[in-house]
Amino acid sequence: MRRAFLVAARRTAVVPQGGAFRGLSVDALGASVLQALLADAAIAPEGVDEVIVSNALGEGGNPARRVALLAGLPERVAGLSIDRQCAGGLDALLLARALIAAGADVVVAGGAESASQRPERRMPGADAPYGQARFTPWPDRDPDMAQAAEALALRLGISRKAADDWAVASHAKAMAARANLRAEILPLAGVADDAFTRALTPALAARATPVTGGITAANAAVAADGAALCLVVSERIAARAARAVEIVSGLTLGGTPDEPGLAPVAAIGAALAAVRLAPFALERAEVMEAYAVQAIACVQGAGLDAARVNLRGGALARGHPIGASGAILAVRLFHDLAGGYGLAAIAAAGGLGTALVLRG
């Protein structure tokens, strides 16, 4: 099987819905990052075989194609748009790896999302439960995401304090890492840092607006705008790159729709088993923090070392641009891995989990 490598990885800052990116389309967000990737890797637009973009909230119309054209790629690059909700950004990388295995040399993959420009016509109808899109055909097995997180906390005994402490730590790590994170962030619209990151204290977290039960505005990630893309190439192209990080395994698995927060646990186990890697052997891991409770449950369920997880903060400290969030995890690993193995893992509505293992 032909091996696949990341040779460049970039993202925009993440900006909460209605913020500085509110006037930027998904096309503009993605195209800006794509151009930066090619410059980083010194690859001409003509060298790109395909562009795969995850987008969950847009108006359709193949945004990957629009991103490719706006970035100045040749018209022969068709563009492939996918929607696997939160997992889509990592799934784009898995598809890119498959294209490399099948003979492609250069694939751009990741996600772009604008919660600010989510079209009303794609909003769920009045009969949709909890005002969210449907993720299963059975309303009684299609829980509201915040309510599912609260149910998970109650079942596993994860306290409100534990969730708040995780959120406080996420912000503290991100604040301390701002200078490091700028290496991966493409300044855009005057924004060079994740806009939501702040000095969250236990007192502020305790006063946060409740969403449901112990789930609050402090321990749940905010809706956001942003884009993240990786340049996935063959071994031939990687041989002349300044940096190359290999995709060594990865997959998406479906689990019970009723408990989406735990879905990554099985995917993590399978991805690690595929390369005979134990959790303790990971150099670091990036685990999605849609909710602090969900992140805690996944770390515990997969047997990960919490001291190696989200070392520069997670989604609680930056926000959640749904289609791009998985790709942001991979971007983080690309910039931080120092020769060892790294894991990216994310849950998605409907009971889906995606895990990706990289080797620096």
Q: How far is CA 332 from the centre of its chain?
A: 10
Element (H, E) at 345: strand 341-348
Question: DSSP 3-state assignment of 225?
Answer: strand
Taking a C-beta distance cutoff of 8 angstroms, is the pair 290, 315 a contact?
A: yes
Closest to 13 measured CA to CA, from 195, 151, 139: 195
Name the residue among 108, 133, 74, 43 with its Cα closest to residue 322.
133
Q: How far apart are CA 356 and CA 218, in angstroms?
A: 28
In the three-class reduction of DSSP (H, G, I as helix; E, B as strand; rest coil), residue 254 is classed as strand
Burial of 157 (0-12, 13-18, 19+ CB in 10 A): exposed
Neighbours of 6 (CB within 10 A): 28
Measured between its terminal Cα atoms, the distance across the chain in Å is 19
Q: Give yes or no for a contact between 167 and 318, defined as CB atoms under 8 angstroms apart.
A: no
Integer-rounded Cα Rg, in Å, for the chain is 19
- Which residues are annotated as catalytic? 86, 320
The H or E element that residue 229 is part of is strand 224-234
Per-residue b/e over 270-281, b at no fewer than 16 CB within 10 Å? bbbeeeebebee
Question: The dihedral of CA 159, 163, 166, 172: what is its sign?
Answer: negative
Distance separating alpha carbons of residues 110 and 95, to the nearest angstrom = 10
Residue 16 near residue 316, CB atoms below 8 Å:
no
